[in-house]
Structures are given as structure tokens and as C-alpha cells.
Structure 1
Amino acid sequence: MNITDAAYNTVRDYPGGSASLAPRIGIKSPAVLNSKINPNTETHHLTLAEASKLMALTGDFRILHALAVEHEKVVIDLPEIPECRDMELTDKVLCVGMKGGDVMSVFREIMADGRITSGEVRDMSRVIQQMHIVLAELNKQIQVCIEAPETEKA
């Protein structure tokens, strides 16, 4: 589905359609919204802000998914994590980022000559194993944060 069809279907499938949505996204009349989503109309178009409001109000993300497909990307939902101001957790997340960089750096080095030796496989495996350990520690800390969301550590 292309973005034009996604916008059209988002409005049409919403209970009350354009009559319900137009005033809620700041468009003066349902007729204008209908023009903006009509694939055959060349004079009116949804703005990015209007498309974003449509998605927020309807909970329908077909426009976003169509954009992602058009640009060969994917969209994933972020997990809902309660607020937690744990500096140890922040440090752990940064460490994950650094270890992830190590994995990529080592891989780049071992692929520099276009082949992988058994020693390089062991080196890569060691870096990946370290990443697993860091991720397991991060998972533990996040679970603590979820179980005690009011935690506030400095």
C-alpha cells in the first residue's frame, strides 16, 4: 500500500471518518480533509503534522508503515518502560553501545582481507560472548527498573 492509499484508508476506516477527524487535527471542514486524502486531487495534500496527528488520534499507523516500505525501512513499536532514573542503568546502556561497536569493529577488521580464519572466528566469538554478558546484565537491570519504577538513583 502506498502512502496516499494509507492516508485515505486511515480516514475512511475511522468511525465518523473525515467529519470526526477534521476538526481534531485542525482542518476546518471534512470536505477539505476529504480533498487532502483523495488520491485524484492534486491541489490539496496532508502536511506531515496532519499525518502525524491522524496517526496519533486514530492509532492507525498505515501511513508510517507505507513510508517505511517506500524507503526500504521497518517500523517497530518501542516497549513501554516505566520511568526509571537509574544512573547504573544508563551506564549499562552506554556500555552495550560500546560493546556493539566492538562487535562491528572486530568484524570489519577480520573481513578486511576478504576471508575469515579460524583464529578470527575465535576472536569474533569472544567479542560476541562479551556482548551477550553485557546484554544479560542490562536485561537484569531493566527488570529491576520495571519491578520498582519509582526507583530514583543518582
Structure 2
Amino acid sequence: MSKRWPTSKDRAEREILPLNLSLYHAARDYPGGGKAIAAIYGVPATTLQHRLNPNAETHKLSLDDLEYVLEATRDPRILDSLLALVPNAHWFEYQEATTECSEQQLLNSVANLSSQVSELLTRISEHRRDGKYHDHEKAELEKLKGQLFGAVQALLVTAQRFDGEMAHG
């Protein structure tokens, strides 16, 4: 039985990718791809696609390109890649635009946090079976750690909203 090497798409699901690969995947997965993003911002489609190609050594992404892809796709892989450059920095996205919070939203946040803790502990257990952490396993645990921190922050915000509603209700 031969072992198949993971593709960058496989890696993107399990670990934080380098910024150029996260931008490439975000644009590729966007409906219409890089051409659609270029059309939104009025930039040459061919140029943007060449810059997004991780194998094109002569074309480099600009900050404007980063902004276009991030704003159009809102892909979390890009934020993961950016914040991986800053040790111990994490992000989360506010889900509700209002300051109101129901008991159900609070319970959903607790359930999400519990799920993230469970996933992290499961993966740690699986990776410890051979007594050694491999690079791809460390990368996966880093991504899960960031998701866990995001779930903690989301729970805190939800709890504050809920407390505010209870105090005013």
C-alpha cells in the first residue's frame, strides 16, 4: 500500500498554510475564481491570476492584491496565515451584528467551545500514540489551538451580550 502525499488542499483543511497558498486557495474556491475577484476591483484578471499562482516566481502579490482577495472571499485561511506570523495572535469573527443575545446563542457558544476542546484533545491523543509529534501534526494542533481561542473569545462576547440583556431585561 502506497502512502499518498497530502496536497495543499488537504493541508489547508488540517493546518495553517503559508500566506501565498492561503490566498491561492481562497481565490480558487471563490465563485468565478481570480477572474471574478479581478472583475470586482477592476484589475487585470491575468495579472491577478499570475500573482496568485504559487508556482509563478516572477509575479509577486501586492498589499492591494491581498486586500482584494481577503475582502472578496472573507476566507478564514488568509487570516490564519497572517496571524501565524505573529506568535500567540488569534482572531475570531463576530457572528451577530446586534448586541442582543438569546439563551440559545449562549448555549450554542458553549457547545462550540466544547466541540473545539474535544477535537483538540482527540487529535493530541492520536498524535501521541507513536510518542513523537511530527511537523504536520504540530501544524494541525496549532490550527486547532487558534480555533479554540476563537471559540473562547466568541463565548466571552456572547456571555457579555447575554449578561447585558439580562441586566436590562
TM (norm. structure 1) is 0.49
Larger Rg: 1
**Which gives a bigger RCO, structure 1 or 2 (Cα 8 Å, sep 6+)?**
2
TM (norm. structure 2) is 0.45
